[in-house]
Amino acid sequence: MIRKTKMLVFLLLSLLLTSCFEFIEEITFNKDGSGSAVLTMNLSKSKTKLASIMLLDSVNGYKVPSKASITKKIQEVVTKIKKLKGVHNVKNSLHLDDFIVTISCDFDNVEVLNSVIASFSSKKDAIAIKKHKHFTYNKNKKTFTRSHHFDFSKKIRKVKMKDRGILKTASFTSIYRFKSPIKTFQNKEAKVSKTNKAIMLRLPIEEVIANKKSIKNYIELDK
């Protein structure tokens, strides 16, 4: 999800890549593999600067989108998700005063969750997500895998050097919750909650793009 999806590209590149932002991926799994997901893009730390930028037509060669066009783009993604079989209770909130976007839904199984993630992406990347699977959940073996199949370097090279500073303050946060205690996990950057049923990973996007750190994880739950 950290991938530069349509919504991320639209919100980040169009807003000049000059803002501190955080992408948050929260997923809760039931024992049968169904669950709920909440995806949030938070640019509120730079809302004053962004509010000023929104008054302009363009800055540094980037076209500044109107609030109406941002709303339309997000609604297109939401509509696409609502049409997916196995997805329920799709909701979204868009607070353009604080520059926070949230999309949430319930899903029947992890395959559906991958389709939800694919809805944010270009056609090419959507195919990759469905083929390689960002998420897998084996309810019999009690294992969960978060994979990552994108090469950020090509996308970043298209961004002007002076606008790459956003990556120094941008972050990706994942929070996964389970009904069973976590037995083991592979990503040593992650931290398990006191209840041992949730795990969080927070990484600088700059280091993920440079392949210095990974958002991948393999989690085994107690049976």
pLDDT tens sequence across 104-117: 999 999 999 999 98
Confidence band, pLDDT 50/70/90 cuts, at residue 166 = low
Average pLDDT rounded to a whole number, residues 48-64: 74
Confidence band, pLDDT 50/70/90 cuts, at residue 135 = very high
Calculate the average pLDDT of the chain.
81
* Highest mean pLDDT: which range of 49-53, 93-97, 100-104, 187-191: 187-191
Rounded CA-CA distance 115/91 in Å is: 16
Average pLDDT rounded to a whole number, residues 160-166: 54
Rounded CA-CA distance 92/73 in Å is: 12
pLDDT tens sequence across 8-40: 444 544 444 445 678 899 999 999 999 999 999
pLDDT surpasses 80 at 68:
yes
* pLDDT of the residue at 6: 41
Average pLDDT rounded to a whole number, residues 56-63: 71
